[in-house]
Chains A and B, each alone.
Chain A
Amino acid sequence: MRGWFFYFLRRAIQQRMGRFLISSFSVLLTVSLLTALMIISTGLRQKMGRQLSAYGANMIVSADGSGSIPIETAQRVSALSGVREFDYHLYGEISLGSEVVEVVGLDVSKARGLRVRGGMPSEEDEVIVGRMIADLLGLKAGDAIVPEGGGMELKVTGIFETGSDEDASIIMSLDAVRRLTGIRGVSAILLNVEPSMIESMVSRIRQDFPYLRVKTIRQIAVAEERLLRKIQLLLSLVTIVVVFSSAVSLASTMGANVIERMEEIGLMMALGARKGDVRRFFFYEALFEGVAGTVGGIIVGVVMAEGISISAFGSYASVDPLYLLLPLFTGLLLSVTAISIPVRDAVRVSPSVILRGE
């Protein structure tokens, strides 16, 4: 009997392929949008965080006092879980003629927020000079400076400007500052921490490294978290609206499908089909439409998500199969629910009424 059930089901699907494809396409639309939004939404925190970390550190760790942090300690701190990016800074002073100038040693390739006229340093003896110092000492790109007592000549590759006090300093590599000042270790560790982990990170550093001082750059940290939350909320709302409107559209497609086939339902019942027999027939048809639409929707959704991810973030989105369970479940549930309600109502109508065409 089961074989004949699927025989008649197959005939119904084959001969009504247009309707089958329309219903499947409605499911496909819903599932593809849901899949794409799920993948983008779940990867958003990581990707946006990566983008936001470009705005700089959101936490500064320094020695509690005037000393420096041993490099081993700095490495342990920067290796903590939740740290997205880090940079070591070493501050010191050098004398240039009669002027005492602040120098900042850092990984020049990670320096941000600087407007540099000229080039960035690439060698240990190359520096960029802040606008105020350059004006004071009459320096320009290509000049050389010789700090007193350092025993090395520094080449100016560019003049930088930040609009802050940093314009009264000279930036060079960490090793150059160490050689000029004789300070080992680092003065500060600049961390960019996962926004949701900032509080726990502060506690952990205070507990594990009581001799270090931790300061969060609240404005950046809070803004990051707030922005991420808002974007995730927006995506969740869009997802809900998409699923709701697709469900309504699917229900009306399926409902129209049932109305169109009322005569068939009345006839089946006149031939002796029980209500359950009729419901089962339509349920399986909807299930097949749901499976086709859901499988297609997940494939299209993944492709859409990857396209969006590439164009917005420049990298592929990671697809966790676990995240596909929701679209899968939603697609199948929507299909069978959308058909179940109109069919349930249809089989309640007396076959005599249906066959009279009322």
Chain B
Amino acid sequence: MKEIIRVEGLRKEYSTTVALRGVDMIIREGEWLSIMGPSGSGKSTLLNILGGLDRPTEGRVIIDGTDINDLREDDLSVFRRENIGFVFQQSHLIPYLDATENVMLAQYFHSIPDRAEAEEALRRVGLGHRLRHRPSQLSGGEQQRLCIARALINNPRILLADEPTGNLDRANTKMILELLKRLHTEEHFTVVLVTHDPYVSGWAERIVHMEDGRITGDESVTG
């Protein structure tokens, strides 16, 4: 498989703490990778830097040949909307827009909103009956499915998910992971999913373990 993300010597320091202490890794296109680790291990920081939401103190992140740290703020925003979709632990939906409009907002920042396409994306994640519902009218699982639809509407090459099931019960977690698995199989995007839950990481093809800002293990998961 072709390499899509290369991380070299990544270090991230905040004023009093060091979140990443020199991380190197390669992620291949179409791979489903889980980053596992306890709270404070630096996994979310790594994900934010991979997505260009944060800048490293040292090191490089090269995505499909582009060193994203060399990009100016606005160019990084453009790169992000062209290549990356996000799913967060908190759904981060716009409360005054309905489900379809929340998806259309992602289309708006990418290109041109298309209501029919947004509604189709919602049907694919099982929200065909919730098109006009506002986020507050959706359950936690439905909100996360809406976030997946929003993240994938622009056909990103990489989906970054930070504890996407962290607020869900086991049944909803399974539902979200099955959905992600199906979409991943159909669309072949790369998934980088951060979790501390072994059940969730077990759905990945590869698991990277982190502790205290370092990678402590890298294992492939077989069928």
Q: Which of B69-93 contact A (CB under 8 A)?
A: 73-74, 77-78, 80-82, 86, 88, 90, 92-93
14 pairs, A vs B, C-beta closer than 8 Å: A1-B112, A8-B105, A14-B96, A271-B81, A271-B106, A271-B150, A272-B81, A272-B109, A273-B77, A273-B109, A274-B74, A274-B77, A277-B109, A350-B54
Q: For the complex, is B119 an interface residue (Cβ under 8 Å from A)?
A: no
How many chain B residues touch A (CB < 8 A): the figure is 32
Q: For the complex, is B94 an interface residue (Cβ under 8 Å from A)?
A: yes
Q: For the complex, is A183 an interface residue (Cβ under 8 Å from B)?
A: no
Q: Could you tell me the distance in whole angstroms from the C-beta of B33 to the nearest C-beta in chain A?
A: 19
Complex CA–CA separation, A324 to B110 (angstroms): 42
Q: For the complex, is B172 an interface residue (Cβ under 8 Å from A)?
A: no
Residues of B within 8 Å of A7, CB to CB, are: 113
Residues of A within 8 Å of B113, CB to CB, are: 4, 7
Residues of B within 8 Å of A273, CB to CB, are: 77, 81, 109
Interface centre among B74, B78, B105 (most CB of A within 10 A): B105
| Chain B: CB-nearest residue to A277 | B109
Q: Could you tell me the distance in whole angstroms from the C-beta of B131 to the nearest C-beta in chain A?
A: 15
Q: For the complex, is A195 an interface residue (Cβ under 8 Å from B)?
A: no
Contacts A350-B53, A352-B48, A352-B53; A267 near B74 (Cβ below 8 A): no
Q: For the complex, is A290 an interface residue (Cβ under 8 Å from B)?
A: no
Contacts A275-B74, A276-B74, A277-B109; A267 near B81 (Cβ below 8 A): no
Residues of A within 8 Å of B51, CB to CB, are: 270
Complex CA–CA separation, A357 to B92 (angstroms): 10
Q: For the complex, is B97 an interface residue (Cβ under 8 Å from A)?
A: yes
Cβ contact within 8 Å between A4 and B74 = no
Q: Which of B104-119 contact A (CB under 8 A)?
A: 104-106, 108-110, 112-113
Q: For the complex, is A11 an interface residue (Cβ under 8 Å from B)?
A: yes
Cβ contact within 8 Å between B109 and A271 = yes
Complex CA–CA separation, A275 to B80 (angstroms): 13
Complex CA–CA separation, A276 to B44 (angstroms): 27
Cβ contact within 8 Å between A271 and B74 = no
Cβ contact within 8 Å between B78 and A274 = yes
Apart from A268-B105, A355-B53: 14 A-B pairs, beta carbons within 8 A? A4-B113, A8-B97, A11-B97, A269-B77, A271-B81, A271-B86, A272-B77, A272-B78, A272-B106, A273-B109, A275-B77, A350-B53, A350-B55, A352-B54
Complex CA–CA separation, A15 to B136 (angstroms): 13
Q: For the complex, is B142 an interface residue (Cβ under 8 Å from A)?
A: no
| Chain B: CB-nearest residue to A16 | B96
Q: For the complex, is A158 an interface residue (Cβ under 8 Å from B)?
A: no
Residues of B within 8 Å of A125, CB to CB, are: none
Cβ contact within 8 Å between B53 and A15 = no
Query: Contact check: which of B77, B94, B110, B112 meets A267 at CB < 8 Å?
Result: B94
Q: Could you tell me the distance in whole angstroms from the C-beta of B150 to the nearest C-beta in chain A?
A: 8
Cβ contact within 8 Å between A11 and B73 = no
* CB-CB nearest 9 A-B residue pairs: A272-B81, A15-B96, A352-B48, A352-B53, A352-B54, A274-B74, A272-B109, A274-B77, A271-B109
Q: For the complex, is B31 an interface residue (Cβ under 8 Å from A)?
A: no
Query: Contact check: which of B82, B97, B112 meets A4 at CB < 8 Å?
Result: B112
Residues of B within 8 Å of A271, CB to CB, are: 81, 86, 105-106, 109-110, 150
Complex CA–CA separation, A311 to B1 (angstroms): 85
Complex CA–CA separation, A357 to B44 (angstroms): 14
Contacts A4-B108, A276-B74; A270 near B97 (Cβ below 8 A): no
Contacts A264-B94, A271-B81; A11 near B101 (Cβ below 8 A): yes
Interface string of B177-190 (1 = CB under 8 A from A): 00000000000000
Residues of B within 8 Å of A4, CB to CB, are: 104, 108, 112-113
Complex CA–CA separation, A164 to B82 (angstroms): 94
Residues of A within 8 Å of B112, CB to CB, are: 1, 4
Interface centre among B48, B73, B93, B108 (most CB of A within 10 A): B108
Query: Contact check: which of B82, B86, B94, B108 meets A270 at CB < 8 Å?
Result: B86
Complex CA–CA separation, A352 to B52 (angstroms): 9
Query: Contact check: which of A15, A272, A276, A356 meets B80 at CB < 8 Å?
Result: A272
Q: Which of A233-286 contact B (CB under 8 A)?
A: 263-264, 266-277
Q: Could you tell me the distance in whole angstroms from the C-beta of A262 to the nearest C-beta in chain B?
A: 11
Q: Could you tell me the distance in whole angstroms from the C-beta of B114 to the nearest C-beta in chain A?
A: 10
Query: Contact check: which of A5, A11, A274, A352 meets B96 at CB < 8 Å?
Result: A11
Cβ contact within 8 Å between A355 and B74 = no
Residues of A within 8 Å of B94, CB to CB, are: 264, 267
Q: Could you tell me the distance in whole angstroms from the C-beta of A69 to the nearest C-beta in chain B?
A: 79
Residues of A within 8 Å of B105, CB to CB, are: 8, 268, 271
Query: Contact check: which of A263, A268, A275 meets B109 at CB < 8 Å?
Result: A268
Complex CA–CA separation, A266 to B105 (angstroms): 13
Q: For the complex, is A105 an interface residue (Cβ under 8 Å from B)?
A: no
Cβ contact within 8 Å between A263 and B53 = no
Residues of A within 8 Å of B81, CB to CB, are: 271-273
Residues of B within 8 Å of A79, CB to CB, are: none
Q: For the complex, is A12 an interface residue (Cβ under 8 Å from B)?
A: yes
Residues of B within 8 Å of A1, CB to CB, are: 108, 112
Residues of B within 8 Å of A14, CB to CB, are: 96
| Chain A: CB-nearest residue to B84 | A272
Q: For the complex, is A351 an interface residue (Cβ under 8 Å from B)?
A: yes
| Chain B: CB-nearest residue to A17 | B96
Interface string of A1-43 (1 = CB under 8 A from B): 1001101100110111000000000000000000000000000
